[in-house]
Structure 1
Amino acid sequence: MTACTALRRLPGAQPMPHQRSSRRRITALVGAAAGLAVPIPLATPAAAHDRLVSSTPGEGATVEVVPAAVQLTMSAQLVALGAQVQVSGPSGVVSTGEAQVAGTDVTQALISAAPAGAYEVQWRVTFSDGHLISGSFAFTATAASTAPTPTAPADASSSETDAAAEPANDAAASTGSSADSSADWGQWAPVVLAALAGAIAGTVLVVIRRRRRG
């Protein structure tokens, strides 16, 4: 039995230096493996930056009248797919048509004659990277929006005026034609009468000569 073997078997014997080094290496490797197994939460760029930048009307704003449309401005480019904006007020849903997406803006039209009161805007948009976010905000209108005043079509008035002018034009044309005919007859009447008189005189002379010869 060697001296080293005898030391390992003795109770309370201290480990040799090369044994302590091996144990330290094993402990370090086990700790590194355990650290790799623990997931570390990371914030994605989309989650960190995609957001609502501003709106018209603004969140919590009070406006004089209900606007004709609500506009949202986002922090990045949007796609039309999945874009939705619903505006509700005292009379119910007042948004009409589909939300229009242009770049970083979303515009939602509202009905006319919407009443005064508190309104809530619920929205959902999709960014160009596929990230979808949603949210809501409120605003208040102190007066209702006004409905457009109907106006008579200009074409109808023009048609009625043209229709009234046509009989007058026809009458004027008829009067002009009659006047022209009268003027023409007055110009040629002496010539025609002279020709008839000459024809009659010639006929009378021929008859007189025949009687004399007979």
Structure 2
Amino acid sequence: MKRNCSSAVIAATTAAGLALASPSALAEPATYVLDEEHFSMAFEIMHIGYAPVMGMFRDVEGQFEYDEETKELTSGTLTFKSKSVFTNHDKRDDHLRNEDFLNSGKFPDITFEVTGFETTGDNTGVVTGDLTLLGQTRPVDVDVILNKSAEYPIGHKEYTLGLTAETTLNRSDWGMTYGIENDLVGDEVRLRFGLEAIRESGWF
């Protein structure tokens, strides 16, 4: 009877240990790195009131720490190279890179640093962060949708998050005022992101 009792105690202890060691119990933030081959960021700004001009930044990198079990985003950074701006018009792109707009020679990087995150639904949330542009830093709220999280079916085969995000801001808040007074270029800028982020190997 003692042997059976001891076996039962060991079995129970083992089961409890396994339960405590389950993925949900050990959940912690994982590092996700931006897949630069599957990232799109479009901006839209009105031109003389006629129609919006649309463009993008083609050079971006970033990563973030996210706990999918608890839906906690603990940190993250995106860096855009201002010189990589693209609107499918060479002369306009050169103008966007000069002192009237992005001043790429003096400010090569545009950065977004995560400062907070609030869950708003099963797969939605609001990311709060500091956007640094033209040497000035201002807070920005970004609406985020988690579209999918799973092992990638092709290529790298790593666990991947797929996200959509968008926000609207006024460029004048960062001191970019060219063309606003005479209504040549709008102040409001609409931003939309589509991205895939790969969980770093070695995370368990």
Same fold (TM over 0.5): no
TM-score (norm: length of structure 2)? 0.29
TM-score (norm: length of structure 1)? 0.28
The higher radius of gyration belongs to: 1
- The higher-RCO structure (CA 8 Å, 6+ apart) is 2
The structure whose residues are more often helix, as a share, is 1
